[in-house]
């Protein structure tokens, strides 16, 4: 699989998360939160055993702040995928992706059949894909993304009260795919 350098695209005006810097510096995980390359590839390189656990994939509701990003009314179903990235037997990252259901019949149709393949395998192999700048946020324990990450963490308590997450948009043929990643401790 040949990986391509993805060109930048501006973040939409609806994006409310702050830019990756300076927030990433305060996290203690700057290199992970600001790295624009494939997170899955990096985890594979840094571990002896890598596993992607598929938690959900298919039509579902997006998180509340994702609807304006997708240009959809609140409550409409989207294609949603939640995965747990596990390195050397330890859950390291929750991956959360959303796009409009209509995109599955067009530019993002390959997402329907990913199974346990990473989303990165779909986006980093297409040279025409563009990516917005990375955005970073420290999640409060009550945020929907934080709750989702804690539920996925196999019922083990997470030491960090506030988890760090990054989010960016991949655009292919005019259709957006939003990817959020929540980090458990230092990845």
Question: Where is 77: in which H helix or E strand?
Answer: strand 77-87
33, 150 contact by CB (below 8 A): no
- Omega cis (within 30) before 22: yes
Q: Is the pLDDT of residue 6 over 70?
A: no
Q: Is the pLDDT of residue 114 over 80?
A: yes
> Domain spans of the chain?
7-183
Torsional sign, CA 62, 55, 158, 18: negative
Residue 118, pLDDT score: 85
Provide Rg for the chain, Cα atoms: 15
Name the CATH topology of 7-183. Answer: Chorismate lyase (3.40.1410)
Residue 19, pLDDT score: 65
Nearest to 124 by CA among 31, 41, 18: 41
Which residues have CB under 8 Å from 106's CB, separation 6+? Answer: 173, 175
86, 51 contact by CB (below 8 A): yes
Given pLDDT bands bounded at 50, 70 and 90, which one contains residue 180? Answer: very high
Given pLDDT bands bounded at 50, 70 and 90, which one contains residue 4? Answer: very low
**What's the rounded Cα separation, in Å, for the pair 57 and 134?**
24
């Amino acid at each position: 699989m040949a990986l391509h350098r993805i060109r930048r695209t501006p973040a939409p005006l609806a994006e409310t998360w702050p830019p990756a810097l300076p927030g990433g510096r305060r996290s203690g995980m700057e290199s992970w939160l600001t790295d624009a390359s494939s997170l899955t590839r990096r985890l594979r390189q840094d571990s002896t055993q890598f596993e992607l656990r598929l938690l959900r994939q298919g039509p579902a509701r997006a998180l509340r702040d994702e609807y304006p990003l997708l240009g959809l009314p609140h409550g409409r179903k989207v294609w949603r995928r939640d995965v747990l990235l596990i390195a050397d037997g330890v859950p390291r990252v929750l991956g959360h992706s959303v796009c409009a259901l209509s995109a599955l019949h067009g530019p993002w149709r390959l997402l329907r059949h990913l199974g346990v393949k990473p989303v990165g395998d779909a986006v980093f192999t297409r040279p025409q894909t563009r990516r917005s700048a990375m955005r970073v946020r420290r999640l409060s324990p009550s945020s929907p993304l934080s709750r989702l990450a804690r539920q996925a963490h196999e019922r083990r308590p997470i030491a960090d009260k506030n988890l760090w997450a990054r989010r960016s948009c991949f655009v292919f043929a005019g259709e957006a795919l939003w990817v959020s990643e929540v980090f458990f401790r230092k990845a």
